[in-house]
Amino acid sequence: MKNICLISTGGTIASKRNPDTGLLTAGLMTGKELAGKCDLPKDINLTVTSVFQIPSNRMDFHYLVELKEKIEEVFLDDKIDGIVITHGTDTLEETSYFLDLTINDKRPLVVTGSQRGPEDIGSDAFVNLRQSIILAASNTALDLCTLVLFNEKIFNAKYVEKVHSSNVDGFNSPGIGYLGLVDGEEVNFFQKSNKVEHYKIKEELPEIEIVKCSLGSSDIFIKYALQTNVQGIIIEGFGRGHIPPKLMDSVKHAIKEDVVIVITTCSHEGKVKEIYDFPGSLYDLKKSGVILGGDYNSKKARIKLAVLLSAKENTEGKFEI
């Protein structure tokens, strides 16, 4: 018998239709209601708890820490074999990566959600939850990173992205692919991550903001971020990690003010790399003290920088992992 804990946080997977508006209200269905419709295998014993019930557009750093602490509390019980988190899809990819960086336990931790509400025709709520519970109970999922389960596919938390706003096949890992599949009650891994890292946060997660570049972008958002006393800025640049040259003066000023800046690429595949030496190039940025963001997208880089700063870790080389 496997003992799995389901932690519910709300989201579309826990939504009900509002009879007044005809629209979904996220977080109204309890974890017990969801689990009761999953027809789980008889060798799985499920316990259910809720940490909060919110739409995931409300997720913030405070909620992330609260969820982390709840998971750590559940894992204090040696009888628990794995944990499943139900979560809204809007910020699921960021929450899962935060947990991947901060939860250090060999037992499976699986994050899932749904693109359609439980009362919708063709809902993916119950099948995603059922397969996530089966995955969390599998010995093949031991000692891995935090996993995301969607539409039968198993994803690495670092690379998973929401790639479609509504389709049930809405999550993927561009350029990387999925790690495996849950086919009925059978768990199959085709690849596994060989890069696992964990950090212990020591203080409140700092304010980190993202500045996205586009053709002719000005430095107005970097200047404003400095006025609000952010501790870090993620710049989402072009291609190999380039930005409009008119931003460079503000970038240099921010670094002099001890604001940590990481440069990432807007491309879904590939990493930032020094290829050119023109103004605003990655070479120019690195020379000015900007951290190279490797193959991280801007949202994942933001989560990682917040964790590193909170953990009092040196950021050098950490975005090459």
Joined tokens for residue 229: 């006393």
- d(Cα 56, Cα 89) in Å, to the nearest integer? 7
Joined tokens for residue 26: 């996220």
Active site residue 146: no
Catalytically annotated residue among 12, 112, 146, 265: 12
- d(Cα 316, Cα 164) in Å, to the nearest integer? 34
Which of 169, 205, 226, 191 shows the shortest CA–CA distance to 62? 205
Joined tokens for residue 85: 């988190």
- For every residue of 70-113, DSSP letters joined together read HHHHHHTSTT--EEEEE--SSSHHHHHHHHHHH---SS-EEEE-
Residue 161: strand pairing partners: 172
- d(Cα 53, Cα 299) in Å, to the nearest integer? 23
Our measurement of the distance from residue 58's CA atom to the centroid of its chain's CA atoms, rounded to an integer in Å, reads 14
Phi, psi of 136 (to 5 degrees): -65, -25
Which of 289, 287, 317 shows the shortest CA–CA distance to 304? 317
Residues catalogued as catalytic:
12
